[in-house]
Chain A
Amino acid sequence: MSATTATATPAKPLPTLDPVSKGFWDLANRGRLSVQRCDDCGHRHYPGAPVCPRCLSRQQTWEPVSGRGTLLSWVRFHRAYWEGFAPDIPYVVILVGLEEGPMMISNLVGARAEDVPIGAPLEVVFERATDQINLPKFRPRRG
């Protein structure tokens, strides 16, 4: 589901843009985090799907969410499975539970993982990867 781009420096894998995911990345480009919400039953889910997993409706909308969540878990990679991540190792990957329900895998910014307890509040920040892709990441929530 991912694709790497051919560039001079080793690239990191990029998300796949398809008819389902396009709405998410359009909103991300404007600095908004979103989940897919079913127009018929209101079910919220992520990643996006061609039909609502609860009621099978095809009528779904990417709905901006608060960008707030909590840290559910984290790991630290000591092996680079892609050349593009080699300069980053060891790097941290986190699991975030969004306030609205769905979970997202992301990266932690602005803190050492050891200093952020499981259950701590997080908030989304965006890091631009390419002209098309603005990647959501998370930092400890302030205030």
Chain B
Amino acid sequence: MVTEQDVWKALEQVYDPEIPELSVVDLGMILSVDVAPDGKAVKVVFTPTFAACPAIPVIKEDIAAKIRELLPVESVTVEVSYDQPWNSNRITERGRQILKQRGFAPPPHVTAEIELEVLHTVPCPYCGSTNTELQTPFGPTLCRAIHYCHNCHQSFEQFKPVM
């Protein structure tokens, strides 16, 4: 019989359409997983990284499709919720490692509102130097900012801190 753990495992194979390898679990997008007592119906609630993320409908479909593909369930419901809105601290340690490997600086842990200061001196994902500066907080997608490393002279992207 399908368990909640099975569903979480399946969700680890649902990836961000922009950054393959980075799953919706790594991103901290999943708010809850419920399995009916008979194991035949599954409900997943997730929260988007940004309200305007164009990938929301794609992720919603991908979650349902992956669960149907991997698990013997009769129905899958996927809901979007903002009850516990996403923030960048929700990204898992594994998620941060994957971001780094893909050349993105992971967001720092934030405890207060974002100010410009936390967006400077972000460690460069290529050489590790903190001799870097923010070029613009608006990058190729809403969740990414553009920085420049003065040590290795390369531009790099950061997954933006959001609080």
Whether chains A and B associate is: no
- Residues on B lying within 8 angstroms of A by beta carbon are none
